[in-house]
Structure 1
Amino acid sequence: MKKAILILCLLAGVTTYAQTGSGIGIKGGLNFGANGDLTESIGNLNSNSVSKLGFHVGVFGKMDFGTLYFRPELAYSRLNSKYDDNDFKMNKLDIPLLVGLNILDPVHIFAGPALQYILDTELENVTLADVKNKFTVGFNIGAGINFSDELGLDLRYERGFSENEAEILGVEGNPRLDTRPSQLILGLSYKF
């Protein structure tokens, strides 16, 4: 009986230690990047996108397991880019599923897939058809630093994997816009 109680106490201590960095929190920040190219139906390049500043806000959960952690997030993101004289805006929900490694206190690295749901796309002075797929998949990879148990800062790169185009309506040549993001994301987080 004493051995069983001792084992239970040890397991409780290990579990408590593994969860010390766990919690939920809020995050927000800036993203800088662009989407894919604007092309005609025959594949000729019409215009490259020019990167512009966007933003993101959201929530996250973190499950800490010593040197490893799992961090699912839910964020609203606004991506901005420019094609010639037309501004492009895309609003989306991102669900990154990140696995991280605490390498040196307070520095950590992380990577994982990002599920994306496109809410809206808009190209200034042009009518866009809906994107081919509202649900897409991307990838995040980055590094961060924790200033305290609550406050952290990270920089990540996001790239969309799923091909996803929106057709430009009412224009000869059947031009298409590649909506896959390619951006740097700077985020500030606060864990409760």
Structure 2
Amino acid sequence: MKKLVVLLLFLAGLVQTSYAQNFAFGPRLGISQTKLSFEKGNFIPQDAEVGYHLGVFARIGGAGLYVQPELLYTQTSGSFVINQPAGPSPGGSPTVFEAEFNRLDIPVMVGVKLFKLLRIQAGPIASIDVNSDLKSSFNTINEVDFKTASLGYQAGIGLDIGNFYLDAKYEGGLDSVTEDIAGFETDQRVNQWVFSLGIKLF
């Protein structure tokens, strides 16, 4: 987290000293399409699910280059089954597990504006766990090692139409979100498409 703050301050200072000043601030909200990804363990991800996010953003920059930090509350979810003898239910069908992630996201996008309308951007995102859990059709799974914080990246495009800022980004993980489920090593990551709208207030 300290490294993220230092990076944000450095980039903001670079833009302020090198380019004409522009500043924007306002609310941001949107939806995401999330799918779990496992590097280890006998876990099979299910179909992608829809989540949401809301918060605020700021944009600092000028002359085509900008830095855009955001502070967002994000709710995402994903489901999977365990491919092992203990996984199926007594009826023979595999037990479906549903993970819900409630977190505080801090993405810091660095972007370039093209033709005063289109933007290309990328940057890191830090995620802090707020209240995540894992449930099956039978009960809540308590033996889950959710990480307090994780790091990922986002990259995508955006459109500026008046005071409305539209963004479409892909988010991937740089480290795991959960490392252990009921004694099984997982190295589980969250990958998602993020679609959001920001409204410039000033």
Could you tell me the TM-score, scaled by structure 2's length? 0.75
**Unaligned runs of at least 5 residues, structure 1:** 1-13
Q: What root-mean-square deviation, in Å, do the aligned CA atoms of Structure 1 and Structure 2 show?
A: 2.3
Q: Name the CA distance, whole Å, in 1 between partners of 2:114 and 2:166.
A: 15
- Residue 118 of structure 1, aligned match among 116, 120, 129: 129
Asked which structure has the greater CA Rg, the reply is 1
- Residue 101 of structure 1, aligned match among 112, 120, 133: 112
Query: Residue 74 in 1 paired to residue 88 in 2?
Result: no
Partner of 2:178: 165
**Unaligned runs of at least 5 residues, structure 2:** 1-15, 82-95
Q: Name the CA distance, whole Å, in 2 between partners of 1:132 and 1:81.
A: 14
Q: Which deviates more from structure 2 when the two are superposed, residues 29-38 or residues 58-67?
A: 29-38
Give the deviation of 1:118 after TM superposition: 1.3
Query: How many equivalent pairs are there?
Result: 168
Could you tell me the TM-score, scaled by structure 1's length? 0.78
Q: Name the CA distance, whole Å, in 2 between partners of 1:60 and 1:76.
A: 12
Q: Deviations for 1:16-36, whole angstroms, at most 9, x for unmatched residues?
A: x8234x121110000001222
Query: Residue 54 in 1 paired to residue 51 in 2?
Result: yes
CA contact (8 A) 1:38 1:46 kept: no
Partner of 2:147: 133
Q: Name the CA distance, whole Å, in 1 between partners of 2:132 and 2:187.
A: 11
Partner of 1:18: 20
Partner of 2:6: none
Q: Deviations for 1:30-51, whole angstroms, at most 9, x for unmatched residues?
A: 0001222385xxx4x2322431
Q: Deviations for 1:42-92, whole angstroms, at most 9, x for unmatched residues?
A: x4x232243100000011111022100011111111111111423211011
CA contact (8 A) 1:54 1:80 kept: yes
Q: Name the CA distance, whole Å, in 1 between partners of 2:172 and 2:69.
A: 17
Q: Using a 3 Å threshold, how does the CA distance of structure 1 residues 132 and 87 change in structure 2: closer, same or farther?
A: closer
Partner of 2:10: none
